Amino acid sequence: MKTILDPCCGSRMFWFDPVNPHAVFGDVRSESIVVTDRSHVQDGTRALTIEPDTLMDFRALPHPDGSFKLVVFDPPHLVRAGPRSWLAAKYGKLGPDWREDIRRGFSECFRVLEDHGVLIFKWNETQIKVGEILALTDRTALFGHKSGKRARTGSAL
């Protein structure tokens, strides 16, 4: 039985075990991307594979209420990134209605979480502060990571 949901798994870089048998890995996209640039990569190319178990949109999850003990919510965090940039490919990019998208994402993640389940929320506040994001849910964060000026990733909820 699958007890964990990751509805925006991307390339599963968040996971130490990216093939965990207890998890349902979902994403709105399924693709392999090769970017050619003048980066620090030796041959000038970088590859990324996004291969979810199930195609899904975190704003409208295809699961019944209370389906999971643990939900990992790591949505796209960029609003400014070039359409063909490596960052947009790797992390995804939020649209113009990102506040409503994140609000709906929180709502859906909590909906599919069983009573007394746990939601792990991950955010990088390079472009949008975590406080702006947490204001989009009526739930109160229990803990998080206060990021400094250099390490801008934090977790909460």
Per-residue pLDDT tens digits for 20-53: 999 999 999 999 988 766 555 566 678 899 999 9
Instruction: Name the fold adopted by 4-156.
Output: Rossmann fold (3.40.50)
Per-residue pLDDT tens digits for 132-156: 999 999 999 988 876 655 555 554 4
Mean pLDDT calculated for residue range 6-23: 96
Rounded CA separation 22/4 (Å) = 6
CB burial class (10 A; 0-12, 13-18, 19+) of residue 15?
A: middle
Structure tokens at 150: 């250099």
* pTM as predicted: 0.87
Per-residue pLDDT tens digits for 86-122: 888 888 899 999 999 999 999 999 999 999 999 999 9
Inter-CA distances, 120 with 60, 72, 92, 125, 154, Å:
18, 5, 19, 16, 11
For residue 40, what pLDDT is reported?
Answer: 55
